Amino acid sequence: MSDPIEKVSIIISKGSLEGVYPGLIMANGARAEGIEANLFFTFFGMEAILKKRQSHIKVATVGNPGLHMASVVGALPGMSALATHMMEQKMDKLDIPSIPEFVEMISDTGCGMYACQASVDLFALKKDDFIEQVQDIITVGDFYAKAAGGEIIFT
């Protein structure tokens, strides 16, 4: 048998519903397997950990071929909200937690949570704009130091 994975560092870089969930599921799943995990949020991925934004993350209805919806239709007002609402209903039936609940739960599992310094500077944010579960705002160098000895997954 190959050596088991003992540590993962997962980067979430996108701010859509479908961009945020996979990284969260992988981090939560890693902790459930006893694997050490860190989450690093960069660019629009930071939406998931911003107090004002994390409850308003939407499915992308434009330029998303997997949705099988013409982009001109997806661009109509309210389409993204509608697609998000439908997706959230399905998730609720499957007992998949909302993003705020999921982020809090993953933090409780002992997973580290960090925001990207460059993105924080770019969007003129402060530590206080982030939910309390975010431990620190770190540079890419700090990230590699924290990720040392484990796998890095970019989403």
Partner 1 sequence: MTTMTLAGIDVELNDEGFLVDPSQWTEAMAIDLAGKEGIDPLTEEHWKVVHFMRSEYLAKGSGPSVRVLGKTSGVTIKELYQLFPKGPAKTAAKIAGIPKPKGCI
Q: Which of 51, 55, 73, 108 binds partner 1 (CB under 8 A)?
A: 108
Residue of the chain from 31, 47, 58, 153 that contacts partner 1 (CB under 8 A): 31
- Single out the segment in contact with partner 1 by CB under 8 A; choices: 11-19, 63-71, 106-114, 135-143: 106-114
Q: Does 123 bind partner 1 (CB under 8 A)?
A: no
Report the run of H or E that residue 29 belongs to, with start and end.
helix 17-32
**Part of the chain binding partner 1 (CB under 8 A), chosen from 57-65, 66-74, 95-103, 113-121:** 95-103
Q: How far is the CB of 54 from partner 1 (least distance, A)?
A: 18
How many residues interact with partner 1 (rule CB under 8 A)? 15
Rounded distance between C-alpha atoms, residue 97 and residue 150, angstroms: 27
Binding piece for partner 1, criterion CB under 8 A, among 27-35, 55-63, 64-72, 76-84: 27-35
Q: Is 64 exposed, middle or buried (0-12, 13-18, 19+ CB in 10 A)?
A: middle
Torsion of CA 133, 88, 45, 37, to 10 degrees: 50
Q: Does 12 bind partner 1 (CB under 8 A)?
A: no
Whole-angstrom CA distances from 41 to 12, 46, 72 are 5, 5, 30
Q: Is residue 12 a contact partner of residue 39, using CB atoms and an 8 Å limit?
A: yes
Residue 23 neighbours by CB distance under 10 Å: 23
Residues that bind partner 1 (CB under 8 A): 1, 25, 28-29, 31-34, 95-97, 105, 108-110
